[in-house]
Structure 1
Amino acid sequence: MTLSHDLAGTGPSTVVLLHSGVCDRRMWDAQFSALAEAGHRVVRCDLRGFGETPIDAPHTHAEDVRDLLDHLGADRASVVGSSFGGEVALEFAARHPERVSALALLGSGMPGMEPSAELRAWGDRERDLLVAGDLDAAVELNVDTWLGPEAGEEARAFVRRAQRHVFEVQLPVPDEHGPVDPEVTRDELARIAAPALVAVGAHDLPDFWAVADELARLLPAARRLDLDWAGHLPALERPEGTARLLVDFLAEALAPTAP
């Protein structure tokens, strides 16, 4: 299966945008346009079970991203991931390091991440609401949890629609069609040599501060950036500011090295 995707720009460098677990590729509207205008060839995709990409078989998200790049004829790419998309970006970089030019990780998850008691309680609450058939309350739980104080009503309405669609697509899927864990280890992450931006919001859950701490230690070429204004989804909370952040990081990371 080729992931549903959009393309913009005709530059020599490819940038892949991987969405969070409560959204789909539309979360990148502002950044998609800004990166194309900055001279990149930009692809944003819906991972399986999100947006317009169904789940029809067992799958590994990182390999789906590889297959998409093959389909587009892109040997290398810079990979930008938000939350769950950051975890997929790390899995892809660990499995295919030669294909990654740079990584930008925003409120990223991490392979093998052990949830805190707070995050487990959130997951238990979401599961209980879904079992009870209260889809509206489960959606609102996600909206309230994952958006920071600067998120406006437009961002909240988008997450509300996108999360409801995620539930509607994923809940009927049989267990045997679920994602396959690529089992990426800490040692494999520590061998990712690409320049990496590790950004986390001050209003995010402590789990993601801990992930940012660990990634800043593990990744050899990582730069940690704390966003004092952000919650978990900076791309939706300050779209233009996040676009500038990504454009500036990639300009630096991809700049030719002087001889």
Structure 2
Amino acid sequence: MTISYDVTGDGPAILLVHAGVADRRMWQHQVAELKSTHKVIAVDLRGYGDTPVAPKYSDAGDLLAVLEDEGVDQVTAVGASYGGYVVQQAASERPDLFARLVLICAPTDNVVPDDALRALWAEENALVEAGDVEAATELTVTRWIGSEADDSARDLLRRMQRRAYELQIPAGDVDNEEYPVTPENLTMPVRVITGAHDFQFFADSATYLLDRLPNGERKDLPWAGHLPTLERPSEALQLIL
């Protein structure tokens, strides 16, 4: 089964990989701008948007398959949150394919989640297990997007998270093969972006990466929460470029 993705525009390839509370719709503002100068590939990972869950799969493997199907031999990959983690896996597996990485509020291996994030996950899981998907969705909208987001961005996040629950809850347990992340082997330029109002775990992940990346730079956004491309779309676009 292939994953769903859009290809728009022409030029150097740029791959957009969404956050774990979103789908490829989170990039709509950036795609509208980038398509005039780039070949933009925006994917829906398994269990998000238009891509159903499979019993066994690899998110990183799916990204590499998309690039192969599109005949891409060099790409800039932009990953938000969990999408940034998947990008790290794919680039660690095939660093020759990736010209540049942009990791936005992304986790990584070997970093321990902070207590506040663990508490949020526990609260979400309790709501889902109780069958209160609407409350779990509102929890996402309340906690995962920063104060700079407008009502349309919050509504989009609400719709994306609700869709993810629709796909993932009936699927139950699945086997997602993760590739090891090796920051020392990511020799391409890597921009690591963090939000001052995000969970500490993602700042700690950025610090861990920057200590190990051969060619990394960090951008700390004093105004941002966890989803800066939704919170200030135009400003976040410049960070990507």
Calculate the TM-score normalised by the size of structure 1.
0.90
Structure 1 partner of 2:176: 179
Query: Residue 91 of structure 1 contacts residue 111 of structure 1 at CA under 8 Å; is this kept in 2?
Result: no
Give the equivalent residue in structure 1 for 2:150. 152
Q: Counterpart in 1 of 2:45? A: 47
Deviation (angstroms), 1:112? 4.3
1:218 aligned counterpart, secondary structure: coil
State the match for 1:251 in structure 2: none
**Equivalent residue in structure 1 for 2:114, among 85, 93, 116:** 116
Runs of 4+ in 1 over 6 A off after TM superposition: none
CA deviations 1:217-244 (Å, max 9, x no partner) are 1111111000111100011000111112
| Residues 1:219 and 2:219 are matched in the alignment | no
- Alignment pair present for 1:161 and 2:155: no
Once the 2 structures are TM-superposed, how far is the Cα of residue 117 of structure 1 from its aligned partner?
1.6
Tell me, in whole angstroms, the C-alpha distance in 2 between the residues paired with 1:199 and 1:3.
Answer: 27
| Letter aligned with residue 29 of structure 1 | Q
Q: Which runs of 5+ in 2 are unaligned?
A: none
Moved more, 233-242 or 1-10: 1-10
The aligned residue for residue 222 of structure 2 is: 228
Which residue number corresponds to residue 6 of structure 1?
6
CA distance in 2, matches of 1:114, 1:10: 40
Residue pair 2:89, 2:178 contacting (<8 A) in 1 also = no
Corresponding residue for residue 255 of structure 1: none
Q: CA deviation at 1:125?
A: 0.6
Separation in 1, partners of 2:32, 2:87: 21
Q: How much identity, in percent, do the aligned residues show?
A: 39
1:6 partner amino acid: D
Q: How many residues align?
A: 241
Q: With structure 2 as the length reference, what TM-score do the two structures score? A: 0.97
How many Å apart are 1:193 and its aligned residue?
A: 0.3
What's the Cα RMSD here? Answer: 1.1
**Could you give the per-residue CA deviations for residues 195-214 of structure 1, whole angstroms, max 9, x where no partner exists?**
01101011111111111111
